[in-house]
Amino acid sequence: MSKQRFDLQRSIMDKINIEEKLNLFNDYWNPKIIGELNDSYLKVVKLKGEFIWHHHDNEDEMFFVFKGTMVMRLKENNAVKEIKVNPGELIIIPKGVEHMPAADDEVHIMLIEPKTTLNTGNVINEKTVKKLKSI
């Protein structure tokens, strides 16, 4: 049985507690897989500081904030828009939209995005995480 299939079967048995998962790590900008459904992974991540401008050619992404305030910068019609996303709020970034998440203080996020999604989208640099850990 593959590791991924095992994870999926485990999720039948167990509910997933988001806070418990977030307590398992402390690094920033390094999403961890906590579940899978259909063609997507469910991930948690901690953010602090600024990410990079990027977009995803083929994937819509959902960011749900649990703790702290995420600042999502978006480019629309050549203008930069800034949206503050607080706990209990989410934002969906449709494919093709240039965006840059940022956070003055630590923010805790749940992500849902297709399994094909690379964290830095169309950009490859030192922030790119090619192989995600499952927790």
Binding site for a copy of itself (CB under 8 A): 8-9, 11-19, 35-40, 42, 59-62, 66, 72, 74, 76, 81, 83-85, 88-94, 97, 112-114
Check: CB of residue 135 under 8 Å from CB of residue 33. yes
Give least dist CB 110 to a copy of itself, A.
Answer: 8
Nearer residue to a copy of itself within complex by CB, 87 or 125: 87
What type of residue sits at position 88? G
Parallel, antiparallel, or unpaired: how do β-strands 40-50 and 70-76 relate? unpaired
Instruction: Calculate Rg over the CA atoms of the chain.
Output: 15
CB atoms < 10 A from the CB of 86, how many?
11
Nearer residue to a copy of itself within complex by CB, 1 or 12: 12
Give least dist CB 113 to a copy of itself, A.
Answer: 8
Nearer residue to a copy of itself within complex by CB, 82 or 125: 82
Give least dist CB 90 to a copy of itself, A.
Answer: 5
For 92, the token pair is 């969906």
Nearer residue to a copy of itself within complex by CB, 51 or 70: 70
Give least dist CB 119 to a copy of itself, A.
Answer: 16
Residue with tokens 């964290």: 119
Helix (H, G, I), strand (E, B) or coil at 129: coil
